[in-house]
Amino acid sequence: MLARRTLICSSWALVVGLGLLAGCSKPAGGGAASAGGGETIAVGAFLSLTGSDSTFGIDTQQGIELATEQTNAAGGVKGKKIKIVAEDDKSSPQEASIKVKQLIDRDHVVAVLGEVASSRSLAGGQVANTSHVPMITPSSTNVTVTQGKDWVFRACFTDDMQGQQAAVFAVTGQHRTKLAILYAAQDAYSSGLAQTFRDEAKRLGATIVADKGYQKGETNFTTYLEQIKAAAPELVFVPNYYNDMVQVARQAKTLGMSGASFLGGDGWDSEDLLKGAAAELEGSFFTNHYAPDVPWPNSQRFVADYRAKFHREPSSLAAQGYDAAKLLYDAMTRAPDLKPESIKNAIASTKGFQGATGTLSIDANHNAQKPLVVVRITGGKFTYFSTAGG
């Protein structure tokens, strides 16, 4: 952890340092670079670089870093280089709003990128909205994150759409009509997905034979799984996070339930899920933003670039971070000037933006309209299965 953080810090220092060097050398070179000069545009990022969700923050930061590097290499925005000012919110909503305030007041950033967790995007978004600085969240899917906030956008789909598409996939795509649901009752993400899944599945004519909420932080799922097993569903929808899912999957296996009987949401997307329970979940599905082997040219290019830079497989959070940054830079390029108001209007009018996670347009509610990917766990890996909605 420490070593990794130092590595990231030093690589950031390197990027920033190189940016400064490039900036300094230009004026010395003469009038040719007068349009850009030594100026940089500061863009803020607030992410969970430490704390319980540190993998979310670090992956997203790498995606943003890659996007920024590519944009700067291609000449930057309006002839100026982008400089990312990244702040760590320590996986806490309180800290998130403080950091966003700092980015705006101290660093005078023109826009803010951030957070993965909806709770922290809500906290940070509140500050960005009242300060009138545009913000794009790469992967917060809770509906309320952008609701009623003129200055907050997202580069991903919402929980509503995800739950609904999961139900369509289960009932229409896989022809399963006896369904069960297991979700974390106190978690907005989990219970939100369960709610829309339940409604849509019923509308499509399926029956919910077992519907159990569990206490957040629960670790013993045996009793729930026994009840679900007794109800004999054809598919069990478990919209929770990967940490919980490892335990659910392992305990389900001791009860003799097949991995292929589970369906999840984007909360499953972590290499830790594969490390903990790849064998137990063989054949299961989940809805996601993206898969490493998704057959879209933009995604393939992103995966290759990411591998070359970081020597590992990108997670969907890295792809989302990359897209959010690229979306912002695209809007900044299209905007007539770099005033927050102009950037905001340019983001709002985004249509047909080609990202690593598919082609997206920003709708009237500031949400991204884009396709959703169904991923299957086979051979201990996440593999692309199909595309839905969009």
Question: Which residues of the shown chain bind another protein in the complex (CB under 8 A)?
Answer: 1-2, 50-55, 91, 184-186, 212-215, 217-220, 222-224, 226-227, 230, 243, 246-247, 250-251, 254, 272, 275-277
Comparison of 177 and 247: residue with beta carbon closer to another protein? 247
What is the distance between the alpha carbons of residues 99 and 101, in angstroms, rounded to a whole number?
Answer: 5
Question: Around Cβ 65, how many Cβ atoms within 10 Å?
Answer: 23
Contact by Cβ (8 Å): 289, 316: yes
Least distance between another protein and beta carbon 197 (Å): 16
Q: CA distances (Å), 349 to each of 127, 329, 365, in order?
A: 23, 14, 12
Least distance between another protein and beta carbon 180 (Å): 13
What is the distance between the alpha carbons of residues 193 and 152, in angstroms, rounded to a whole number?
Answer: 22
Least distance between another protein and beta carbon 148 (Å): 28
Comparison of 93 and 340: residue with beta carbon closer to another protein? 93
Contact by Cβ (8 Å): 44, 100: yes
Q: Look up residue 338 and give its two tokens.
A: 């770099």
Comparison of 276 and 355: residue with beta carbon closer to another protein? 276
Beta strand 152-154 with 135-137 is: parallel
3-state class percentages of the chain: helix first, strand second, coil last, to nearest 5:
50, 20, 30
What is the distance between the alpha carbons of residues 144 and 166, in angstroms, rounded to a whole number?
Answer: 20
Comparison of 3 and 32: residue with beta carbon closer to another protein? 3
Least distance between another protein and beta carbon 228 (Å): 11
Side chain identity, residue 102: Q
Comparison of 86 and 277: residue with beta carbon closer to another protein? 277
DSSP, collapsed to helix, strand or coil, labels residue 176 as coil
Comparison of 194 and 303: residue with beta carbon closer to another protein? 194
Q: What is the DSSP string of 257-268?
A: --GGGEEE-GGG
Least distance between another protein and beta carbon 3 (Å): 11
Supply the DSSP symbol for 114. Answer: E
Residue owning tokens 């009793």 = 223
Sorted by sequence, the CB contacts under 8 Å of residue 302 that are 6+ apart come out as: 66, 314, 319, 322, 356
Least distance between another protein and beta carbon 355 (Å): 28
Comparison of 137 and 270: residue with beta carbon closer to another protein? 270
Comparison of 2 and 32: residue with beta carbon closer to another protein? 2
Least distance between another protein and beta carbon 131 (Å): 30
Least distance between another protein and beta carbon 51 (Å): 6
